[in-house]
Structure 1
Amino acid sequence: MLNPVWLKTYKTLIDIGSFTKTAEKLFMTQPGVSQHIQKLEEMCGYALIKRKKRSFEITEQGKLVYQYAIETDQNERNLLNKLSFDEPYSGEYSIACSGAFALLLFPHLVELQKRHPLLTPSVEVAPNNKIFEFIATGNADFGLVTQQPNSVYFEYETIGQEQLCLFVPAFTSEKVSVEVLMDLGFVAHPDAAHYLKYFMAECGNEKLLKMSLEDFPKSGYINQLTQILTPVANGLGFTVLPKTVQNSCLDVDKLKIWEMNKPVYETVYLVKKKDYELPERCNTIIELIKSLKCLKGS
């Protein structure tokens, strides 16, 4: 068995790319780091790095050992997570959700982690269909979606509502107009098709009900949630997003939300794989999510 201490030193060296910084991170001397690498190479029977004057390159054998070190580290963390199954404030948990939910949740998750440093979040941002895939394959413990899950494969519960809004530049009139939207063009994003289709079907405006995404000229595409409203604020298009995203825009005073005949809400479902028993730490996070007033849709 390869010495785990030497493996950790080697993995850290490859991750950081510097003997000096590796020594600082591991509270070692630089000669001590070199000694660990040399002993690991002797145990493996191959050179793991090619040393140069002020740098090094990883060898093919070194790549294999590095991958082994990653897997060993992951296996150890997985074991510790399993051992802490019933610990409410310890271990890693994984959530899959939309960018809007991630923007909403992450500050609360960070605050919780500050109080309980051993409670480690992993947040995967994805559209509904990908979230179902992550949960089904075990790459997420649970997720938040706005599409009703298939009860054959998933267990779910309703935890609130999310309001969708049509954002336009502040200089536009208060009156909802398809013609104005056509002139502005649509700012697309990963969830654009779903949001716009649902919004037009539910907003109570007969003209929008007859439109489709393809009817609107596209004025741009952005996959960074916090940047989607920037072109809208600068008069370069319109878009549909959850209302909670509004505060992520630095030029929020240059935005306007068109009031529709009726507010548009999507039901928010908390979903997990069927017959999967969540670790207690996940239940801690779920209780936190349920307590957020911004998901009540009132």
Structure 2
Amino acid sequence: MLNPLWLHTFKTLVDVGHFTQTAEKLYMTQPGVSQHIKKLEHACNHPLITRENKSFELTEQGRIIYQYAIKIAKDEHALFESLCFDNPYSGQCLLSCSGSLSLLLYPKLLDLQKEHSEMYFHLEAAPNHKVLNDIQQGSIELGIVTHIPSSSLFQNEIIGKEALCLVLPKSYEGQAVTSELLFSVGLICHPDSHHYLSLYFDLCGDEELSKININSLPKAGYINQLHQILVPISKGLGFTVLPESAVRNFPQAENLYIAPPTKKVEEALYLVQKRNRELPHRYNTLIDKIKQVLK
């Protein structure tokens, strides 16, 4: 690689046309300018100028190197300009959240992309621990989780709440949800079912449900694909607890019954990023859209 300092001296010499004036412009001595030119010629293995008294002419190789030096200078100028301009509507945004939230957010992010065609989104559905790990590792810039992460590693803010729903087949609509009923129907398990059940039973305001031993509930099935968890329930098999966004986005939602709780059960949603990580301005556009969707 050619020394950029030598290239800059050579370009300045050609632009100015005089060794003494080049030295003055670069705050160098004239012998220093000559030394840079000689070192550049040695590195190129070709003479770049031919001297005639106090003037000089470029050789053919000198003209090639001069054009190269101009290109380097332009590229550097463009680089510094790009560093000063952070377009809020251009570039990739890396976001991770739960599968249920991704069902809600992704169509809205596509609307945003249609509005600003130079923006695009990498959205990954993941559990809380993976969201936080990916942010810490730098593969994801922004995440949404349902518990407050370590303040020493992350900065966060509450951006909304998401209701949890106890879902049964449509045929049970209007029936009182008792422990006897749930034991007779059976649980459709999924990776977050125990977490959601515990939270729902503790906060729904029903004393009978709060006493249920979740581990003793009979299982009516297990599925780890979010979009399929409600399929057996829509066919009259089992019950489960899921975030409202997953239930509302299920194609056969008319075949489901959402049991009304005595008290509404909600999980707080925390927007998380790595502490002291300054995100590009396009993330402000993304965050504004997320807050608009979750308000």
- The TM-score with structure 2 as length reference comes to 0.69
Cα distance in 2 for residues equivalent to 1:114 and 1:83 = 26
Tell me which residue corresponds to 1:234: 235
Cα distance in 2 for residues equivalent to 1:251 and 1:90 = 37
Of all paired residues, the percent bearing the same amino acid is 45
Within a 5 Å distance, the mapping from 1:11-160 to structure 2 comes to: 86-160=86-160
Tell me which residue corresponds to 1:269: 270
Secondary structure of residue in 2 paired with 1:110 = helix
Cα distance in 2 for residues equivalent to 1:178 and 1:109 = 40
Question: RMSD across aligned C-alpha pairs, in angstroms?
Answer: 2.0
Secondary structure of residue in 2 paired with 1:92 = strand
CA 260–247 in structure 1, closer or farther in 2 if over 3 Å, else same: closer
The Cα of 1:249 is off from its aligned counterpart by: 2.4
For the pair 1:204 / 2:197, whether they are aligned, the reply is no
The Cα of 1:84 is off from its aligned counterpart by: 9.0
| One-letter amino acid of the structure 1 residue matched with residue 118 of structure 2 | L
Tell me which residue corresponds to 1:33: none
Tell me which residue corresponds to 1:291: 292
Is the CA contact (8 Å cut-off) linking 1:85 and 1:280 kept in structure 2?
Answer: no
| Equivalent residues, number | 215
Secondary structure of residue in 2 paired with 1:171 = helix
Unaligned runs of 5+ in 2: 1-78
Cα distance in 2 for residues equivalent to 1:155 and 1:98 = 19
Tell me which residue corresponds to 1:180: 181
Cα distance in 1 for residues equivalent to 2:92 and 2:84 = 10
The Cα of 1:141 is off from its aligned counterpart by: 0.6
The Cα of 1:185 is off from its aligned counterpart by: 1.3
**1:55-83 per-position Cα deviation (integer Å, ceiling 9, x unaligned):** xxxxxxxxxxxxxxxxxxxxxxxx9xx96
Unaligned runs of 5+ in 1: 1-78
Cα distance in 1 for residues equivalent to 2:185 and 2:85 = 52
For the pair 1:168 / 2:168, whether they are aligned, the reply is yes
Tell me which residue corresponds to 1:220: 221
CA 84–200 in structure 1, closer or farther in 2 if over 3 Å, else same: farther
Cα distance in 2 for residues equivalent to 1:262 and 1:186 = 22
Is the CA contact (8 Å cut-off) linking 2:104 and 2:249 kept in structure 1?
Answer: no
| One-letter amino acid of the structure 2 residue matched with residue 208 of structure 1 | L
Cα distance in 2 for residues equivalent to 1:213 and 1:281 = 44
Is the CA contact (8 Å cut-off) linking 2:101 and 2:246 kept in structure 1?
Answer: no
- The TM-score with structure 1 as length reference comes to 0.68
| One-letter amino acid of the structure 1 residue matched with residue 128 of structure 2 | N
CA 84–238 in structure 1, closer or farther in 2 if over 3 Å, else same: farther
CA 212–93 in structure 1, closer or farther in 2 if over 3 Å, else same: farther
The Cα of 1:191 is off from its aligned counterpart by: 2.0
Cα distance in 2 for residues equivalent to 1:189 and 1:85 = 46
